[in-house]
Structure 1
Amino acid sequence: MEEICTIGKGESLFIKGPARITLRTGRIRIGGADRSRYIAKEGRSCTVEGIQESEVKIVLGSGAQIKKFGAITPPRMWLKYSHEILQKKGIVMIIGAPDTGKTTFAAFLANEALQKGISVAVIDSDIGQSDIGPPSTIGLAFPQHKINRISNVTADEFYFVGTTSVQDICDMVLGLEKLVENALTKADLVIIDTCGYVSGDTGRRLKMQKLQAVTPDIMVALQRKDELNPIIRNWRGEVIQAQVPKGVRKVPRHMRREIRESRWRKAFDKAQERQVDLEEKILLNTYLLSGKRISTEMFEKLLQCTVVYAEEIPEGFFIIKKEKSHEYQVPPVSFSGHTLKMLDAGWEENLVVGLLKDGQCVDLGIIKRINYQNMMAVISCKEHDFDSIKFGRIKVNESGHEIGFIDWC
């Protein structure tokens, strides 16, 4: 089936393949780049953004879908709020539930500041739906020109958290603190976009800990009813309660997943498998190589199974056994008064890791396998110059599909 679609400036099409897209007139952007032709393969999706009034021809295969989103018109009061903020400058944190216009307000405020010659930094702290930087990271950018969409901004720096869900609040807050500190060295206005997790015990704690750590000069609260009242009530800093713009689209969960998969694919595009000597690297967020390697014999007798690797660590013992349980990780057990931490062989396959150089994340990688005899790992990545590996908690393949989580390693 063939369709001719008109896309206005600021509008977008979400297309689920198989589909062939051809630009007829105007200018469009797909995957952050200007394109005149694009093929969305079966099971893959893409977003076509109208940079100007455009017309595209789309040939749809079996099961393909198109969904159109109109441009969001900022409320008039946003100009008043931006004027107040730009007089003060400093740090601005934007909070709100999902689909309330947080990212739209961040772009609007950044554009108003740039138009007035104010230096700007934008931090995207939504690790699940990251627009600046890959998923599982907090991204920092210093835009120099008008922003059509935050997702079109290239990250100047990012902090690897290692998961797309709220598992480690401490690391999320630490990463945000670090990027805010770096942003303040170059920008007069630092805009922090946050995730939509605002309700329940974890959501409230996450937002309050971010606020307390960063102490923004202004908090902008976008709410439809009263969902942010518990956070607003307990924050003693300045708060602007902004109107949610009309036309904000609610993005279905399956679409969020497909968008995240496309960003995973972009992160690992052109990655190559590289041999990495783990003994030459600093390893973070893992028990591996944190103790003394010991014989596996006594553990094989105890567990009646093949043990491929064993270490004595300050907490007790860390082993990797060949036979797989139903889960990758077996709950710790007591062994001669010490804790015995066990992982099944293959726990590391497709695990996302952050690759760091001098403490700064320079790339993401996917561990393919580890040879425990010589401690050589095969990691799929683009960057080869790094001194540290930070182990994440999410498993992803090169197609962008999230295939599992681990609680610890």
Structure 2
Amino acid sequence: MDPPVRPVTHRIGQGHTILLTGPVQFKLSEGRAQCFGAPINPDTWITVEDLRQEPILATEPATLEIKMGPDGSWKELLESTIPTGWTEAAHILQRQQGVAAIVGDVDSGKSSLCTFLANMCVQNGLKVGVVDADVGQADIGPPTTISSSLASEPILTLQDLRQETAFFIGDTSPSSVPDKLTRLIVRLKEKLVSSSELVLVNTDGWIGDLPALRFKEELLHETQPDLVLGLSRGSEIDPLLDMVSSASIRLPSSTYARMRSREERKNVRETGYRRFLLGSKTMKISQENTKLRMFDRSEQQVLRWDRKLKGFLAGLLDDHQELLGIGRIREMIDGYALVETRTTERPRFLEIGNILLSSKYEEIGYGMLH
């Protein structure tokens, strides 16, 4: 982003919100403000990425300096964007702790709710773990992966969390490998439970049909959350909440939650690939030391090394099937794979995903190997 040199200076009244839509940069120059419950550090330029939205709430009269990028925008609201129910849910989790699963439709604000709850509980002294289980609109790791992290301090976005453990799912839709996804989400949750007082499981937005409901029902059965938080604009989450055996609360989406088009969601994913692939070097991987397999096949089914896989997204996995890093296949030749990746660790498994990427890490194909 190349914002204008001169920022706009704007004064905000106490209790008012500046809603920023990226690409935007801002700095708090006077007063106090917060974002999803996290205090804003003064005199520090903060970037809101393209197509992302962040609400800056003035907890006392404050002054912001704002630099606009192309297509970035901002507007002032006379209220907080955080529904009262979210604060009540945070108070429940501070007392109850345990495991909480967040479910809801696409663009209902699940990541915003997860960020807010993590911040409120961290600032209350809890050790909070986060499972990012949204393979399409992943925040902590790249698209096609799920990951976990410990939140040790307040954050403005889930992207601020460092990916600690991750698994390669290989697709941006949970519908292609629901059993694999469920099994690996459970692994992430169980790993966090031992080191956290509260674990937040942030799920994907697939809830609109019967297969989706069955998947979510099975996921919630296997993860065994102490509380399910159902986020919705209306009653669309009710069929799922009626199916679950765990205690559940229906929460309203923020009135200001932003609806993205399919193209915008694709653009966000491409930004996610670039976060983890720009600056890659080419790794030469030998069939003698690495097993090659498809993302949706059993671990025993190994691919031939002479397949035409140029451009496909891949996961480089260690002995424990955990993700070392994603990569893009450049070429398969003479029993070797040339893979663009940022990891320097040698993989035990090279798992081929369902997404074809251009050299600029744009999605140009999907599901072309079957």
Q: Is it true that 1:117 corresponds to 2:122 in the alignment?
A: no
Pick aligned residue for 2:243 from 230, 234, 255: 234
- Structure 1 residues 319 and 401: CA distance shift in structure 2, 3 A: closer
Q: Percent identity?
A: 22
Query: Is residue 55–residue 81 contact of structure 2 (8 Å, CA) maintained in 1?
Result: no
1:96, 1:266 → 2: CA distance? 26
* Separation (CA, whole Å) in 1 of partners of 2:158 and 2:192: 17
Give 1:65's aligned residue: 71
Offset at 1:290?
A: 7.0
Partner of 2:360: 399
| Bigger mean CA deviation after superposition, 245-254 or 216-225 | 245-254
Task: Give the corresponding residue for 2:44.
Answer: 27
Question: Aligned pair 1:217/2:234, yes or no?
Answer: no
Deviation at 1:214, TM superposition (A): 0.4
Q: 1:124 to 1:6 in 2, by over 3 A?
A: farther
What is the aligned partner in structure 2 of residue 261 from structure 1?
A: 270
Go from structure 1 to structure 2 and tell me whether the alpha carbon gap of 1:407 and 1:384 turns closer, same or farther (over 3 Å shift): same
- Inter-partner Cα distance in structure 2 for 1:215 and 1:56: 44
**How many angstroms apart in 1 are the aligned matches of 2:152 and 2:64?**
25
Provide the residue aligned with 1:76 in structure 2. Answer: 84
Of stretches 177-186 and 202-211 in structure 1, the one that deviates more from structure 2 is 202-211
With normalisation by structure 1, the TM-score equals 0.73
Aligned residue for 1:121, secondary structure, equals strand
Contact 1:352 1:367 in 2 (8 A): yes
Amino acid at match of 2:133: S
Query: What residue number does 2:153 align with?
Result: 145
What corresponds to 1:126 in structure 2? 134
Question: After superposition, what is the alpha-carbon deviation per residue over 1:199-258, rounded to whole angstroms, capped at 9, x for unaligned?
Answer: 112221221121011011100011222211211111121011112222222223222221
Q: Give distance in 2, aligned partners of 1:369 and 1:383.
A: 18
Q: Which residue of 2 aligns with 1:355?
A: 316
Q: Secondary structure at the match of 1:208?
A: helix
Contact 2:93 2:121 in 1 (8 A): no
Q: Give 1:54 deviation, angstroms.
A: 3.7
User: Residues 223 and 241 of structure 1 are in contact (CA less than 8 Å); yes or no, is this contact kept in structure 2?
Assistant: yes
User: Does residue 381 in structure 1 map to residue 341 in structure 2?
Assistant: yes
- Tell me which residue corresponds to 1:99: 107
1:365 to 2:327 alignment: yes
Aligned-residue Cα RMSD (Å) equals 3.2
- Alpha carbons of structure 1 residues 225 and 22: separation in structure 2 relative to 1, 3 Å: closer
- Is the contact made by 1:29 and 1:49 (CA closer than 8 Å) also made in structure 2? no
In 2, Cα distance between equivalents of 1:291 and 1:99: 36
Structure number with bigger Rg = 1
Counterpart of 2:197 in structure 1 is 188
CA contact (8 A) 2:26 2:64 kept: no
Work out whether residues 103 and 229 of structure 2, in 8 Å CA contact, stay in contact via their aligned partners in 1: yes
The secondary structure found in structure 1 opposite 2:72 is strand
After superposition, the Cα gap between the structure-2 partners of 1:69 and 1:403, relative to the gap in structure 1 and judged at 3 Å, is farther
SS at match of 1:279: coil
Q: CA deviation at 1:10?
A: 6.9
1:186 Cα deviation from its structure 2 partner: 1.0
In structure 2, what is the Cα distance between the partners aligned to 1:119 and 1:354? 30
Shift of 1:78: 2.3
**1:155-209 CA distance string (max 9 Å, x none):** 1121110111231111111120110011112111100111111111222122112
Q: Which residue of 1 aligns with 2:282?
A: 273
Q: Per the alignment, in what secondary structure is the counterpart of residue 107 of structure 2? A: coil
Give the structure 1 partner of residue 163 of structure 2: 155
Task: Choose from 181, 187, 203 the match for 1:178.
Answer: 187
CA contact (8 A) 2:273 2:361 kept: yes
Provide Cα deviations, 1:46-94, integer angstroms capped at 9, x if missing partner.
75868895434457xxxx5334477862122322222222222111001
Find the residue that maps to 1:142 and give its secondary structure. Answer: strand
Cα displacement string for residues 247-270 of structure 1 (whole angstroms, at most 9, x for unaligned residues): 222223222221211111111021
Instruction: Give, in whole Å, the separation in 2 of the partners of 1:261 and 1:70.
Output: 30
Amino acid aligned to 1:377: A
State the 1:5 CA deviation.
4.6
Cα shift at 1:398:
4.2
Q: Quote the Cα distance in structure 1 between the aligned partners of 2:327 and 2:283.
A: 10
Q: Which of 250, 257, 265 does residue 259 from structure 2 map onto? A: 250
Q: Secondary structure at the match of 2:332?
A: strand
> Any idea what SS the aligned residue of 1:364 has?
strand
The equivalent of 2:38 in structure 1 is: none
* Alpha carbons 1:69, 1:249 under 8 Å: kept: no
Q: Counterpart of 1:328?
A: none
Instruction: Say whether the 8 Å CA contact 1:82–1:112 is kept in structure 2.
Output: yes
Go from structure 1 to structure 2 and tell me whether the alpha carbon gap of 1:191 and 1:168 turns closer, same or farther (over 3 Å shift): same
Equivalent residue, structure 2, for 1:55: 65
CA separation in 1, counterparts of 2:92 and 2:18? Answer: 26
Structure 2's unaligned 5+ residue stretches are 30-42, 57-61
Q: How does 1:322-341 map to 2 (within 5 A)?
A: none
1:110 positional shift: 1.0
